[in-house]
Amino acid sequence: MSSEVKVPVLGESVSEATIGQWLKQPGEAVVLDEPIASLETDKVAIDVMAPAAGVMGAHIAKEGDTVAVGALIATIEDSTAVAGAAPVAPRAEKAIPPASDTLPPKGEDAGDAALSPSVRRAVLEHGIDPSSVKGTGKDGRLTKEDIVHAAQAKQATPAPAATAAASPAPASVPAAPAGERREERVKMTRLRQTIAKRLKDAQNTAALLTTFNDVDMTEVIAARDRYKDLFVKKHGVKLGFMSFFAKASVLALKDIPAVNAQIQGDEIVYHDYIDLSVAVSAPNGLVVPVVRNVDQLSFADIEKAIAEYGKKAKDGTLTLDDMKGGTFTISNGGVFGGLMSTPIINPPQSAVLGLHRIEDRAVVRNGEIVIRPMMYIALSYDHRLIDGREAVTALKTIKEAIEDPTRLLIDL
């Protein structure tokens, strides 16, 4: 008797996905609710869980195939019914725990726990046995950083000296001829294809324009330095600059509603709420999870939400619901050292705020040249909906709120 493996429901308006990777090969033992395949949708990677225990049967769909929701992609055979096969024995290292207890207790080996897509990619890339690595994530779960650190430690460990009894070394692979030019072709992931299409659609559809300003970060840096220890102690999360810019953006979007609006057909949709999309770098590309009702959240709430999304992005565990919606986006290229950029809007949104690196620059204050920590900020917007005056005013409001954070408290 066999069990069918079908493409699960992927979320609202998502009807198909791509087989990213088969995690179980035909003939391998399978445990109920164990990840057996990874699907790539337009936004996230989703694991297909085993509907039954047994032995992996045939792969009906290959890696790279596009499959629809509900499509049959594989079978799982009853281990006792496989011809000539004895009951499947558990893995030699450790039996995989049942679905009701997939996370190992803290401090225990996390090698057999269900691995996130990003961790599995790191395991394959670096050739690390996950059962030999101690997880530092929540409840002992392995993270991508754990695998990378294990790989670095492995490379740093000197190889054991050869002994007289050692077998002869295999013939070395000849080095590539000097000056040889090589190319590698890698199929774009579904996520990268979607990013490319959406960004190009934004350029083709919207009348994009960008306005710039610079911000003196002196007061925000001072406030952060003054309260960061107390903030962590009380809220359990670091006080970053993003929450200041999120709050400043709220002021600007309330004053200039068009910047928080969208064009739908021949209508303009104005929102009385602010759902903030935060651009986050993930293993497969840029993703934009949404902090909802950010206008009603505290600094701590915003920082906690952003920190959680950042961790989920690295672990490859973001869901479609995490990225659905959004009325305005903040993208921080400064974390990568970017000095200035013209960010592209995230359709159907009408504007995006770009942040950049902070650097000391000479500026004039009260007739004197002084050194201040300055940041360039950019607002890209759809000129079909937002006039230049509105865009410049919104960016100026953000600048003034950051340079005088008291404005964030008194809604000015």
Q: What is the pLDDT of residues 32-78, one digit of tens each?
A: 888 899 888 877 778 889 999 999 999 999 888 889 888 999 999 98
Mean pLDDT score across all residues of the chain: 83
Q: From the centroid of its chain, how far is CA 179?
A: 37
- Look up residue 139 and give its DSSP letter: G
pLDDT greater than 90 at residue 154: no
Q: Residue 296's CB: how many other CB atoms inside 10 A?
A: 10
Q: What is the pLDDT of residue 89?
A: 43
Q: What is the pLDDT of residues 162-188, one digit of tens each?
A: 444 444 544 555 565 677 888 888 877
Instruction: Report CA-CA distances (Å) from 370 to 221, 307, 364, 400.
Output: 17, 35, 6, 19
Q: What is the pLDDT of residue 38?
A: 86
**CATH 3.30.70.1150 correct for 208-410:** no
Q: Which of 94-98, 112-116, 343-347 has the lowest mean pLDDT?
A: 94-98
Task: Say how far apart CA 383 and CA 397 lie, in whole Å.
Answer: 19
Which residue intervals of 111-214 are DSSP H helices? 117-126, 144-156, 190-205
For the four alpha carbons of 262, 267, 268 and 273, in that order, the dihedral sign comes to negative
At residue 284 the predicted structure's pLDDT band, cuts being 50, 70 and 90, is low
What is the residue type of 180? E
pLDDT greater than 80 at residue 282: no
Give every CB contact of residue 185 below 8 A, 6+ residues apart in sequence. none
Task: Say how far apart CA 308 and CA 315 lie, in whole Å.
Answer: 11
Q: Which of 150-154, 263-267, 349-353 has the lowest mean pLDDT?
A: 150-154
At residue 97 the predicted structure's pLDDT band, cuts being 50, 70 and 90, is very low
At residue 111 the predicted structure's pLDDT band, cuts being 50, 70 and 90, is very low
Measured in degrees and rounded to the nearest 5, phi and psi for residue 343 equal: -65, 155
Active-site residue among 149, 235, 271, 383? 383
Q: What is the pLDDT of residue 323?
A: 86
Measured in degrees and rounded to the nearest 5, phi and psi for residue 161 equal: -65, 145
Contact 286, 43 (CB under 8 A): no
Calculate what percentage of the chain has a pLDDT beyond 70: 82
- Look up residue 159 and give its DSSP letter: P
Tokens representing residue 103 in the block = 């996370």
Contact 351, 382 (CB under 8 A): yes
Q: What is the pLDDT of residues 243-279, one digit of tens each?
A: 999 999 999 999 999 999 999 999 999 999 999 999 8
Provide the terminal-to-terminal Cα distance of the chain, rounded to the nearest Å: 69
Task: Say how far apart CA 327 and CA 34 lie, in whole Å.
Answer: 37
pLDDT greater than 50 at residue 105: no
Q: What is the pLDDT of residue 96?
A: 37
Q: Any idea which fold 97-154 has?
A: Dihydrolipoamide Transferase (4.10.320)
Contact 375, 213 (CB under 8 A): no
pLDDT greater than 50 at residue 87: no
What is the residue type of 136? T
Q: Which of 3-12, 252-261, 292-301 has the lowest mean pLDDT?
A: 3-12
Q: Is 20 helix (H, G, I), strand (E, B) or coil?
A: strand
Helices 218-235 and 299-315, packing angle to 10 deg: 80
Task: Say how far apart CA 306 and CA 330 lie, in whole Å.
Answer: 11
At residue 304 the predicted structure's pLDDT band, cuts being 50, 70 and 90, is very high
Q: What is the pLDDT of residues 215-228, one digit of tens each?
A: 999 999 999 999 99
pLDDT greater than 70 at residue 375: yes
What are the sequence ranges of the domains in the chain?
Answer: 1-81, 97-154, 208-410
Give every CB contact of residue 285 below 8 A, 6+ residues apart in sequence. 189, 191, 192, 195
Single pTM value for the model: 0.66
Q: What is the pLDDT of residue 243?
A: 95
- What are the residues facing 46 on neighbouring strands? 39
Mean pLDDT calculated for residue range 1-23: 84
pLDDT greater than 80 at residue 141: no
Q: What is the pLDDT of residue 106?
A: 38
At residue 149 the predicted structure's pLDDT band, cuts being 50, 70 and 90, is confident
Of 2.60.40.420, 2.40.50.100, 3.40.50.1820, 2.60.120.650, which CATH number belongs to 1-81? 2.40.50.100
Residue 387 a catalytic site member: yes
Tokens representing residue 403 in the block = 């340079």
Match 């300055």 to its residue by tokens: 374
pLDDT greater than 60 at residue 325: yes
Instruction: Report CA-CA distances (Å) from 240 to 104, 161, 275, 373.
Output: 32, 49, 19, 16
What is the residue type of 115? L
Task: Say how far apart CA 220 and CA 226 lie, in whole Å.
Answer: 10
pLDDT greater than 80 at residue 117: no
pLDDT greater than 90 at residue 360: yes
Active-site residue among 225, 255, 387, 404? 387
Q: What is the pLDDT of residues 26-36, one digit of tens each?
A: 989 999 888 89
